[in-house]
């Protein structure tokens, strides 16, 4: 579920495509940036990206249920993650390049697939990492400092295993009685959640958080919700020292991995090329 993520989309699509995602479905909350032109370019380059207009930003569970029905004839397993979230397995550190079997390696083997209908992956939340603006080289390169304790989880679900009620609580579905959920350890896989970015980026999301539990950030409702930012009140005012907040552990594993996979010194998931081209245009002017 997205809103005005055009400038972040290419990095996210390219990375997850390389590790095995075959199709992307974006639920668009009526974006007014260049999202659709970015999607068009990606599709022309051979990626499979579909967009659906979803006008209701506070109805994430309903969107998940809709996606499960919408994709059941074209997908077997579906992962529900946001554009600021990247799936990563520490075992991939030893790989010289990505393969389209990496995500599939997290799924149950054929012998147990009739039992496991959902894979749960814990999240690490990254902070601004001393960034004062959106890093041109991409979020996986620019944000390298995170909180120590993991928070929440994301799921990969077998669509045929979802209970007929389609009941879900954003991060996982209820399953049919013959299926169960498997919880992966942090050593097996983790979702890097680049949640607290440079202030201007975070501020843009401040009032549009899609949580079903905090209707209006500027009210005092549900003050202990995990969707609220620790130390931040009810107004989108930059706290002192924001750029250094939520930095308890330096974690550059995905940064180093994507540097090796995508040779970020030259193109960094394609983002750096765009910067160079823009610079050439400026010089010509």
- Residue 111 confidence (pLDDT): 66
- Residue 95 confidence (pLDDT): 92
Every domain of the chain and the residues it spans: 6-270
Q: Which residues of 178-207 are buried (b: 16+ CB within 10 A; e: fewer)?
A: ebebbebeeebbbbbbbbbbbbebbeebbe
Q: What is the pTM of this model?
A: 0.86
- CB 28, CB 3: distance < 8 Å: yes
- Residue 124 confidence (pLDDT): 97
pLDDT, one tens digit for every residue, the chain (285 residues) = 899 999 999 999 999 999 999 999 999 999 999 999 999 999 999 999 999 999 887 788 999 999 999 999 999 999 999 999 999 999 999 899 999 999 999 999 866 656 999 999 999 999 999 999 999 999 999 999 999 998 889 999 999 999 999 999 888 999 999 999 999 999 999 999 999 999 989 888 766 553 444 555 566 666 666 665 655 656 667 888 999 999 999 999 999 999 999 874 444 565 544 443 443 333 333
- Residue 228 confidence (pLDDT): 59
Q: Which fold has domain 6-270?
A: Spore Coat Polysaccharide Biosynthesis Protein SpsA; Chain A (3.90.550)
- Beta-carbon count within 10 A of 12 CB: 24
* Alpha helix positions (H), 122-251: 139-142, 199-206
- Residue 227 confidence (pLDDT): 60
Angle of helix 6-18 relative to helix 253-262, nearest 10 degrees, comes to 80
- Residue 274 confidence (pLDDT): 44
- Residue 27 confidence (pLDDT): 96
- Residue 67 confidence (pLDDT): 95
């Amino acid at each position: 579920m997205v809103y005005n993520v055009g400038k972040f989309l290419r990095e996210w699509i390219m990375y997850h495509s390389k590790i095995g995602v075959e199709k992307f479905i974006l639920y668009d909350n009526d974006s007014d940036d260049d999202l659709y032109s970015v999607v068009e370019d990606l599709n022309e380059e051979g990626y499979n990206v579909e967009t659906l207009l979803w006008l209701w930003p506070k109805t994430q569970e309903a969107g998940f249920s809709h996606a499960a029905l919408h994709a059941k004839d074209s997908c077997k397993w579906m992962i529900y993650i946001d554009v600021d979230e990247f799936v990563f397995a520490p075992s991939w550190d030893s790989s010289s390049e990505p393969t389209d079997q990496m995500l599939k390696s997290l799924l149950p083997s054929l012998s147990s697939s009739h039992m496991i209908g959902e894979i749960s992956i814990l999240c690490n939340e990254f902070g601004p990492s001393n960034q004062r603006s959106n890093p041109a080289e991409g979020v996986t390169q620019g944000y390298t400092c995170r909180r120590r304790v993991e928070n929440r989880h994301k799921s990969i679900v077998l669509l045929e295993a979802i209970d007929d009620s389609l009941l879900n609580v954003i991060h996982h579905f209820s399953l049919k009685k013959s299926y169960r959920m498997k919880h992966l350890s942090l050593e097996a896989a983790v979702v890097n959640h680049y949640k607290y970015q440079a202030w201007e980026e975070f501020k843009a999301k401040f009032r549009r958080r899609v949580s079903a539990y905090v209707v209006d950030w500027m009210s005092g409702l549900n003050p202990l919700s995990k969707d609220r930012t620790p130390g931040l009140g009810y107004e989108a005012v930059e706290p002192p020292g924001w750029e250094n907040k939520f930095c308890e552990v330096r974690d550059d594993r995905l940064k180093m991995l994507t540097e090796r996979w995508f040779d970020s010194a030259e193109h960094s998931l394609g983002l750096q090329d765009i910067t160079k081209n823009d610079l050439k245009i400026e010089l010509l002017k």
